[in-house]
Amino acid sequence: MTRENAPEFARWIRRFHPRPAAEHTLVCFPHAGGAASYYHGLSAALGPDVEALVVQYPGRENRLFEDPAPSVEWLADAVAGVLEAGAVERPVFFGHSMGAIVAFETARRLDRTSARPAALVASASAAPSHPEPRAPLLDALADETDTEILAGIMGLGGTDTDVAEHAELIRLVLPAVRADLSALARYRVAPDATVRCPVVVYAPEDDPSAPARDAALWGRHTAGGTAEVHRFAGGHFYFASLAGPFLDRLRLTVRAAGTGVAFA
């Protein structure tokens, strides 16, 4: 049985544009409250030599009626197991916002396996051991209404504003949003926790949740000791329009990973 037909792989991984002959694999990890479909356009735009495998967290879309993940660590354990069992070899990880932290923890679990990533792209995310940007989330979850939390997510640009007009959809979406934000807020890791692969940081210039000035702190968490940083115009969801500079940089990162060629 191929991984594409394995029930567990299909439950966790979406392949919107199968490219079995592709030379490179990009595994995408969504943001808090996000779902795999957010990466449909990116999957299509990558080109014939890159296949996107998009992680689908429980509690949304085709997994809507599953309980959301209780922690970042739980998610990383599950995704690492699926990727290793599915014989995914030397992919590049792309994690956006909370997805960068899940990708980092998944990479740690795969460091000694054939599924270990060739590179980790951390997009719009504070470094794992830099909890200050995440600390206020717990207070917000305790004090804010569902509407206020959804408005905060929409303020970052990651949710269609029309959702606010549909109470039933809000009722379905909010448990996953709250669970993701709670998992992220409670996440802590040792300052010396590292992955073996290179870390490349994509830092939007106007993102209050992950200030670009702190992007280099990701260097603490790679065995190489430094992280390559690329800055982009825009806010937290800077790549939503799939602008040329972002796509060009991502393609270069993916194609260069594991080849010994400098990303720059």
Q: What are the extents of the domains in the chain?
A: 3-131+189-256
Answer CATH for 3-131+189-256 from 3.20.20.190, 3.40.50.150, 3.40.50.2030, 3.40.50.1820 = 3.40.50.1820
Fill in the DSSP letter of residue 89.
Answer: -
Burial of 161 (0-12, 13-18, 19+ CB in 10 A): exposed
| Both tokens assigned to 70 | 């209780």
Across 24-28, 48-52, 180-184, 196-200, least confident range: 180-184
pLDDT in tens, 83-136: 999 999 999 999 999 999 999 999 999 998 989 999 999 999 999 988 665 555
Q: Report the pLDDT value the prediction gives residue 183, as an integer from 0 to 100.
A: 92
Which of 43, 97, 125, 182 is flagged as catalytic? 97
Look at residue 1 and tell me whether its pLDDT is greater than 50.
no
Task: Determine which helix (DSSP H) or strand (DSSP E) holds 200, and give its type and residue range.
Answer: strand 199-204
Six token digits for residue 154? 């929409």
d(CA 167, CA 164): 7
Whether 236 is catalytic is yes
The residue type found at 230 is H
Q: Report the chain's mean pLDDT, rounded to a whole number.
A: 87
For 9, the enclosing helix (H) or strand (E) is helix 7-12
Q: Quote the percentage of the chain above a pLDDT of 70.
A: 81
Distance CA(122)–CA(227), nearest Å, equals 10
Find residue 204's DSSP bridge partners.
232
pLDDT of residue 210: 86
Task: Kindly report, residue by residue over 199-258, the tens digit of the pLDDT.
Answer: 999 999 998 888 888 999 999 999 989 999 999 999 989 999 999 999 999 999 999 996
Per-residue pLDDT at 23: 96
Which one-letter DSSP state was computed for residue 165? G
Residue 82: pLDDT band (50, 70, 90) is: very high
